[in-house]
Structure 1
Amino acid sequence: MSEPADPATAAGTLTVEDLSVHYGGVCAVRSIGFTVAPGQAVGIIGANGAGKTSTLKALMGLVPRSGGRIGFGGTDLTRIRARDVVRHGIGYVPEGRHVFPGLAVEKNLLLGAYARSWRGEQTRQSLAEVYELFPVLGEMRGRLAGALSGGQQQMLAVGRALMAKPRLMLLDEPSMGLSPKLVEDILAVLRRLREDGLSLLLVEQNAKLTFEATSDCLVMENGEVAMTGTSAELRDDVRVRRIYLGI
């Protein structure tokens, strides 16, 4: 997806080579490869069952990988446990948010910092940064997460991932179930994160959102990468517009 990073920035490059995922005898992801350079935003689009979510889960170590290699920051993540991936600078916002409904908003956020070695003032600073990005979370810090709206829970899921100070954020369907206005709010947040230098890997069925939020994109079909290109190129590609945008 991008030119090889130079040595000065290679520490923040995600490199995926020949990644495969099988569920029993079914191949969900077949020998895909791509890179995400420091500060780059890459999107993955495709129909249901194309292998998008399985790709993100495989990167995080949440599903077994049947082949391939994953490198990030000079570290081979291929055999690293899921709980340790966060410590290497990768944040994850899962599909469906998965906040802890019986815990207060601030407790949910603090759980996002569990993998960090620092505490105290740095944690308070991270909380302040999340509340500055999402003022509504600051206003509701003592409210149970289960009482938040769907959009507010999505903000909470993103904020929780940011608490670990990632260099790369993986987001799975952040616009799912949200109103058009809230989708615009999420898009604004993604742009802000990019401006702050955070790398993004975004999985979305909302192709329009993906093209607006990313610089480059993969189109997945039946577990394989069917097309790659800049987001602008793919947005205007007749095949993509017909198959994924319905026009």
Structure 2
Amino acid sequence: NSFCTLLGWLLAQHISSSVCNDDFQPRREMPHTLIKICSLVGTALLVTAASALVPVEVCVTSRIAREANSQHARFAVEYYAASEAPLLSLTTRYIGRFVPGASRTTANDLAKSFIINGTTCDVVIGTGSSLLSPVLSPIVDQLWIDYSATSSRLTDPSLFPFFNRVNPSTVQGTAAIAALAARFGWTKVNTLAYNDEIGVTTIAGFVQNLVDLGGEPGLSLSVDPTSSKADFIRMMDAFAASDSRVVFFSSTLEQPPFVWLMEINPAT
């Protein structure tokens, strides 16, 4: 798209490829990539602005339980725009809000907030979630940059035409893990997925890469929000009884209960 083309012109395709293509192979670590991309947005807009101030409204999605990420994104945009793009008349604001007593931002709440408050934004930053970004996509028609959503499904430009990311997708991650399994001779690997967008797509990508390298999937199980401790224990017992000693799991939970059970159960 035009945004990626312009970034490519500015940086000889270097950072542009990391935003637009899943085939990007980073040759060195690029810390604070979101900060740099946000500053480049301002620089790109200045190309057509001549010497006049360019009004730009940047909207950052606000997420319950991940508010620090939203605050960092907003600070990055404001700080680097002020120091590197002084001709921008930049305003930033949050889309979404805290809900007392809630533990996570729901897709419906975020979509409703965007429809009410986000349609006038010039740039959208976020959501930072492989679960929330696909839901928000049908109502976003602005320049959109996500700082941490990794789902490989978001790569499809026919489904997510305005979506760009600054981090690799699970395509790179699952290929690397499958290569690691092959390197250690783990030809058969069990899998455990949290039953959501990122869990299912990550496991599917890993299994495909494992098969391509000559391996085979072992026992495949999944968990969801209704799974109980007894369910987790049964899963661990099933893994212990299988003929594979390796389990690859994918979860959006920061402290998956089944990981704790695996650590205290020597049989697994």
**Shared topology, TM-score over 0.5?**
no
Instruction: Name whichever structure is richer in helix by fraction.
Output: 2
Instruction: Name whichever structure is richer in strand by fraction.
Output: 1
Report which of the two structures shows the higher radius of gyration computed on alpha carbons: 2
**TM-score between both structures, scaled by the size of structure 1:** 0.34
**TM-score between both structures, scaled by the size of structure 2:** 0.32
Q: Which has the higher contact order (CA 8 A, sep 6+)?
A: 1
